């Protein structure tokens, strides 16, 4: 069965302390790996799509990478405004999309 | 540009009552989706639509019905609400295939007593 697992469930960082969030996936023929940001009381907001192993995408302090088994969201020198829940999702050969449960990131000033 | 708008934002129902959640998008997207989000679990797809007049079942369709009479609207119905349907419901849309980024509304928080 297709699965998307995110770790850790929660992460607390000091402002400026870089770290990475992990998204492991087991899907039949990955077609796309998506990262979203979700603020409390809001819907997910799209960040990145990665389509093949080795691909990388960057946006401000965020960088997403993809291997054949997992994706990482690297956060460099985070700020308090980066606090949110980060979701990843993977689509398989049938374009069925499965979401992970998310990593709740808190950045303290 | 409003994007994806969901109404209502909050609702409390009694077991056995029915209701309809409305989703409207102004981006001319072909695909629309309904998800539920529960604590500790990822978003789970309830139903989706690949165009006006079409609907298809997702991962957790039981107890829900949907309709897409107009391209910009996607309705989610609960015919006889159950406490297990207490959740946050999100509507989303995407331009073309299901392998494209989805744009989400801000959710409807539904409690079934």
pLDDT of residue B1: 62
Mean local confidence (pLDDT), A101-107: 97
Q: Which tens digits make up the pLDDT trace of A56-103?
A: 999 999 999 999 999 999 999 999 999 999 999 999 988 889 999 999
Cβ contact, residue pair B42, A4, below 8 Å: yes
CA distance A6 to chain B (A): 10
pLDDT of residue A2: 81
- What's the mean pLDDT when you consider all of chain A? 96
C-alpha B90/C-alpha A32 separation (Å) is 21
Of A91, A100, A102, the CB nearest to B98: A91
Tokens 């609400």: give the residue.
B81
Optimal mutation site among A37, A64, A97, interface B, most CBs of chain B within 10 A: A97
Cβ contact, residue pair A44, B90, below 8 Å: yes
The closest alpha carbon to A30, from A109, A75, A94, A107, belongs to: A94
C-alpha B49/C-alpha A98 separation (Å) is 17
Residue B102 parent element (H or E) = none
Number of CB atoms found within 10 A of residue A15's CB: 13
Angle in degrees, CA A25, A26, A30, rounded to 5? 85
Backbone angles phi, psi at A15, to 5 degrees: -55, 130
C-alpha A65/C-alpha A15 separation (Å) is 22
C-alpha B12/C-alpha A59 separation (Å) is 39
Residue A27: pLDDT band with limits 50, 70, 90: confident
C-alpha A64/C-alpha A52 separation (Å) is 12
pLDDT of residue A22: 98
Q: Which tens digits make up the pLDDT trace of B30-41?
A: 999 999 999 988
Q: Which stretches of chain B drop beneath a pLDDT of 70? A: 1
Cβ contact, residue pair B92, A43, below 8 Å: yes
Q: Which two tokens stand for residue B20?
A: 């309809």
DSSP assignment of A6-22 equals: EE-SEEEEETT--EEEE
- Please tell me whether residue B95 adopts helix, strand or coil conformation: coil
């Amino acid at each position: 069965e297709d699965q998307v697992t995110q770790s850790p469930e929660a992460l607390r960082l000091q402002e400026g302390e870089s770290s990475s969030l992990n998204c492991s996936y087991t899907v039949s023929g990955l077609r796309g790996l998506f990262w979203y940001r979700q603020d409390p009381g809001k819907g997910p907001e799209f960040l990145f799509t990665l389509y093949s192993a080795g691909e990388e995408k960057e946006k401000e302090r965020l960088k997403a990478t993809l291997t054949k088994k997992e994706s990482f969201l690297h956060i460099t020198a985070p700020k308090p405004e980066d606090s949110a829940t980060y979701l990843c999702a993977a689509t398989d050969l049938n374009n069925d999309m499965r979401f992970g449960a998310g990593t709740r990131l808190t950045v303290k000033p | 540009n409003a994007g994806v708008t969901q109404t209502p934002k909050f609702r409390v129902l009694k077991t056995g009552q029915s209701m309809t959640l409305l989703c409207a998008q102004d981006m001319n997207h072909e695909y629309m989706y309904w998800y539920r989000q529960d604590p500790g679990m990822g978003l789970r797809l309830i139903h989706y639509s690949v165009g006006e007049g079409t609907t298809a079942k997702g991962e957790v369709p039981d107890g829900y019905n949907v309709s897409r009479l107009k391209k910009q609207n996607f309705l989610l119905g609960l015919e006889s609400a159950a406490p297990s349907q207490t959740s946050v419901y999100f509507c989303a849309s995407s331009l073309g295939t299901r392998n494209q980024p989805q744009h989400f509304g801000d959710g409807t928080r539904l409690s079934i007593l």
